[in-house]
Amino acid sequence: RQCDLIAAAHPDWNDEQIYQYARKIVSGELEAITYEEWLPSMGIQLEPYTGYKDDVNPQIMNVFSAAAYRLGHTQLSSEIKRYNAAGQVMPEGNLLLRDAFFNPLEVRNMGLDPYIRGMGVQKEQMLDAKLVHDVRNFLFGEPGQGGLDLASVNIQRGRERGLPDYNAVRVDFGLPHISFFQGINDDPDVFNPLIVAYDGNINIIDPWVGLLSEKALPNSIFGETLTKIMTLQFTALRDGDRFYYENDPILTPEEKDAIKNTRFRDIIMENSGVTIMQENVFTAMPMDEICNALFVSLSGNIHTEAGDNVGDVSVTVLNDDQNYEGSTDEDGNFSFEDVPGCGTEGLQLSKNVNFLNGVTTFDLILIQKHILGIQPFTSPYKILASDVDRSGSISTFDLIRLRQAILGLITEFPNNESWLFVPANFTFEEPLLILNGSWETNDQFNGLLSVDYTEDFIAVKVGDVNNSASTATSGISVERVGTSPLQLNIGNESMEEGQVYQTELSVDFPSEVLGYQFALSYNPELIEIVNVEARNNFSSDYVAVHPSEVLVSWNTATPKRLNNQVVLNVVIKAKADVVLADAIQLNNRTFANQVYDGNLHIGDVNLGFNGAMVQDFYVGQNEPNPFTAATTIHYYLPEDGVVNRVLTDATGREIAAQSQIESAGTQSWQLKKSDLPASGVYFYKITFGDKVISKRFVLQ
């Protein structure tokens, strides 16, 4: 596993480099588990590490290897527990220790997981001078046959390697000589067998026997002499090793910190199929109690694909008993401590505010280029941002929804939120695969989170494919200016209260353009926008009129030139005596007024007032169009006169006609579904004096 991680981080390394580095890390983890976890669990507390000491000899002491470190033999049980994932004994039962010698098939056939679970539950035998039957009569024997006596082997080993007696070892380590057997351990069940075994001579006790017979110190499983030996030996092994992981010159500070915080439990959880284990594996715990003692931490960072941290993201840990709620700080970080691991179902992230943040007509241009294959996205996150309606594909419908959002016609994205969050470590074989939503189940824990959880997320602002969204606040992000401004021109003159005027809005740009957007705000106490009509192939889909502003968003797939092109006819009714320039202006509050040239450079928008406004005959497009029940046609008469109104079908056949005298000003003509014979395309024609205006409409 470590080799795979290193190979991914260093694709240019060869096998030998990968192996040697993995060896450093694994060796460091073994050291960290020994010093940070196992020794303290046994009751050995060393002085803090202060660095390598060249005057410390890390050599293994003879008494340590021949006697003291043979302590584990007395802690063995006759039965090796084997548990399934539910905490129950495997159907095959537990394994007798004597049947495990030279029997690797037991592990190969069942796998390691049942043994690991069992060892997490099984308590060690007391540290004493007694050994189980399995290692006294069956050691190293074939399954079902006899074997050696481990106690005899240990005693003989010490004698063959020239170890002095137990008391001599104590004196050698600066401890006082013991004169009475009760001084080793005052338990009669311990000192009486010692007296018999050594014929009452306390000065001939074998070190291995004496060390195991000692009375344990408080908060330790070891006696005085064994504690002394273990403390000195493990201190020397650490301080005298110039390659000890905390002193290793090759490992980075981050790697050293990660190693220091690695626990045996982490190794088990990362390299096996075990899903639940107590925090300290060296302290046995029944599986039904692990949940009560299982607490985990969850942390991570949320940032955009560009690396900008995202604050104020709502983060909720979903737990069966109680949800835990928090949010990311200004650096995009979140953290939860002491969360019950059992019952934890998943992590829920949300930031569903200011859905227009970062959304501009520039995004429409880029998404349209992707759809047409002109400039396809290679980033999965841009692809996800483009699927505005979460349909699982990117289409014209997404462009429509996005423009509706820019024009203020919708207040949220359908079936979607403002931000989506993808696990940073989730990889996609193809960028488009992000649309299948498989990443959304990556952080569901199914009722059990058994290890501390650290995960970063890529924040994707829906509709924003050029990473212009503000991540620090909920305000609108203003993009850089890099080209000439777009010039808007509109007629201007003094208007009289109650009069209706018609003017043209034109756009001018010195080079080719791919799109633009602007917001014109007006004072509703001074003027009323009666109607806005698109001109010169400028669709009404690009404009929206609101109570105090007119919003425009236009783009094209291929660059076009705009030479004072008239795009809108605007009908205005004066509600007071006013000059138009005093009643209407560009507004940067709704969104940034921008133009996008043929090279995708961004420029400003300027508004100019020139030309005269006219009071003339005008006929607007019916609203709504198409319609299902009723629709209204507004028209303006500059003076009293005869008005002829005619309805025809698509073939030109007259359906209805009406002629009447009407007063000057804005008039309306309402059509109902019942006025027409069937659904289809129709035309209305209004004649006033020598002027005739005809428009097309649809009944659904």
pLDDT in tens, 667-691: 889 999 999 999 999 999 999 998 8
For the chain, the structural domain boundaries read 2-40+46-52+241-262, 53-76+124-239, 294-469, 486-609, 618-699
Two tokens at 313?
Answer: 């993201």
pLDDT at residue 474, as a whole number: 43
Band of the pLDDT at 229, cuts 50, 70, 90? very high
> In this predicted model, what pLDDT tens digit does every residue of 626-635 receive, in sequence order?
999 999 988 8
Please determine, for residue 139, whether its predicted confidence score (pLDDT) is greater than 90: no
Class of domain 294-469: mainly alpha
Say if residue 626 is preceded by a cis peptide, omega within 30 of 0.
yes
Report the predicted TM-score, pTM, of the whole model to 2 decimal places: 0.65
Which of the listed CATH numbers 3.20.20.140, 1.10.10.350, 3.30.530.80, 2.60.40.680 matches domain 486-609? 2.60.40.680
Over residues 20-61, the pLDDT tens digits come to 999 999 999 999 999 999 999 999 999 999 999 999 999 999
Q: Do domains 294-469 and 486-609 have the same CATH topology?
A: no
Q: Which CATH architecture has domain 618-699?
A: Sandwich (2.60)
Alpha-carbon gap, residue 383 to 222, rounded angstroms: 63
Half-sphere exposure of 604 (CA within 13 A, CB side): 6
Residue 411 reports pLDDT greater than 60: yes
The reported pLDDT for the residue numbered 574 is: 92
Residue 101's pLDDT band (boundaries 50, 70, 90)?
confident
**Terminal-residue alpha carbon distance, the chain:** 64
State residue 446's pLDDT score. 80
What's the pLDDT band for 86 if we cut at 50, 70, 90?
A: confident
DSSP state of 36: I
pLDDT 10s digits, 55-78: 999 999 999 999 999 999 999 999
Q: Per-residue pLDDT for 441 more than 80?
A: no
Q: What confidence score (pLDDT) does residue 624 get?
A: 87
Mean pLDDT of 493-522: 91
Measure the CA dihedral 5/10/11/12, to 10°. -150
Mean pLDDT, residues 113-142: 89
Give the pair of three-digit tokens for residue 24: 């450093």
DSSP assignment of 175-205: PPPP-SGGGT---HHHHHHHHHHTTT-GGG-
Angle between helices 361-371 and 396-406 (to 10 degrees): 180
Among the listed residues 542, 524, 525, the one whose alpha carbon sits nearest the alpha carbon of residue 533: 542
High-pLDDT (> 70) share of the chain, %: 97
Average predicted confidence (pLDDT) for the chain: 91
Give the mean pLDDT of 132-155: 84
The answer to whether residues 667 and 573 touch, using CB atoms and an 8 Å cutoff, is: no
| Confidence grade of residue 473 (pLDDT, cut at 50, 70, 90) | very low
Q: How far apart are CA 433 and CA 440, in angstroms?
A: 12
| Of 280-294, 465-479, 531-545, minimum mean pLDDT range | 465-479
3-state secondary structure 680-691: EEEEEEEEECCE
Ramachandran bin of 490, using left for φ above 0, alpha for ψ from -120 to 50, beta for the remaining angles: beta
